[in-house]
Amino acid sequence: MSKKVGIDRADIYTKISDRIIEDLDKGVRPWMKPWSAANMHSRITRPVRHNGLPYSGMNVLLLWSEQISRGFSSSMWMTFKQALELGGVVQKGETGSTVVFASRFTKSVADGNGNDVDREIPFLKAYSVFNIEQIDGLPESYYIPPATVCDPVARIEAVDRFFRNTGAVIRHGGNQAYYSPVMDYIQMPPFEAFRDAAGYAAVLSHEATHWTAAQHRVGRDLSRYAKDRTDRAREELIAELGSCFLCADLGIAPELEPRPDHAAYLQSWLSVLANDKRAVFQAAAHAQRAVAFLHSLQLEADVKAAA
């Protein structure tokens, strides 16, 4: 990898991390902006590509932020080239929004003993996309408003089915919500303690993200969660982002106000992000894997039901 590429990658991490730190310094969790009162007139979804496939991980946070700050009502994005291929043209004077692509390439390097060994080198590349509201001339179907959201009752039934299909042991009682790694169960307060069914599901989505950490699931190490403040802050950031991703997928709003037992994490996150510019990227990647795992259990449940 060239020195310039390494510097560019570091600049991407720093630029994006600093933007998030700036919001956190103001007491604002930037990943919660889509659910502010001004935007709740319609369902919040993940940003999607020109072919309808949703973005994942860090790009969800980046494009949510861009959509809110620039006032776009559409959640669809595409590159300049993709717009041209579809017969569209980016409006004069419009600027793109940054998304990132992370991958790895194999490089042969000396191992110190005179032998060449293959090593996987991670890389991060930034590129620009445009919201379809910045593009003229696309096929009419791209400008059609999204379908009406299903009624609340049907939506909550789907949410209940989603968590039931995970197979997680969910216990009820007391006044705390948490995941016990030792006993491998989720503890929730009684359903009646929540403002409504969506509020219950929002808290459960946070704890379900923690639940995925077990070694036989996605395998995040929680051994130092209770002992190390930094490790705890990182895991809580993963759970918070995972909850946001999952709530968007399920059509419900996440926990808009930090729970009393979570409020202190704001300063911890600031400390982690200030000392590690890659921390939020890693947290978003872990959150994405957690949510993808929860979705994969729905497929398994469907297969079992069909059998």
Q: CB of 236 within 8 A of CB of 228?
A: no
Average pLDDT over residues 11-20: 91
Question: How high is the pLDDT of residue 122?
Answer: 67
Residues 213 and 84: their CA atoms lie apart, in Å, by: 43
Tell whether the model's pLDDT for residue 158 goes beyond 80. yes
Task: Note the pLDDT of residue 7.
Answer: 41
Non-local (6+) Cβ contacts of 40 within 8 A are 253
What's the mean pLDDT when you consider all of the chain?
A: 88
What pLDDT sits at residue 91? 97
CA separation, residue 42 to residues 48, 113, 147, 201 (Å)? 16, 61, 11, 19
> Count of CB atoms within 10 A of residue 58's CB?
22
Of 134-148, 188-202, 282-296, the one with minimum mean pLDDT is 134-148
Angle at 189 between CA 188 and CA 194, to 5 degrees: 110
pLDDT tens per residue, range 212-245: 999 999 999 999 999 999 999 999 999 999 999 9
**For residue 2, is pLDDT > 50?**
no
Task: Read off the pLDDT band of 6 (50, 70, 90).
Answer: very low
- By the 8 A CB rule, do 255 and 29 touch? no
Of 124, 93, 174, nearest to 1 (Cα)?
124
Contact between 269 and 233 under an 8 Å Cβ cutoff? The reply is yes
Q: Could you tell me the pLDDT band of residue 10, with boundaries at 50, 70 and 90?
A: low
Band (pLDDT 50/70/90 cuts) for residue 99 is: very high
- Considering just the CA atoms, what is the radius of gyration of the chain in Å? 21
**Closest C-alpha to 59, from 281, 286, 289, 247:** 281
Q: How sure is the predictor about 277, in pLDDT bands with cuts at 50, 70 and 90?
A: very high
pLDDT at 150: 65
Smallest CA-to-CA distance from 65 within 122, 142, 123, 131 is with 131
Q: What is the mean pLDDT of residues 113-133?
A: 82
The more confident residue out of 257 and 220 is 220
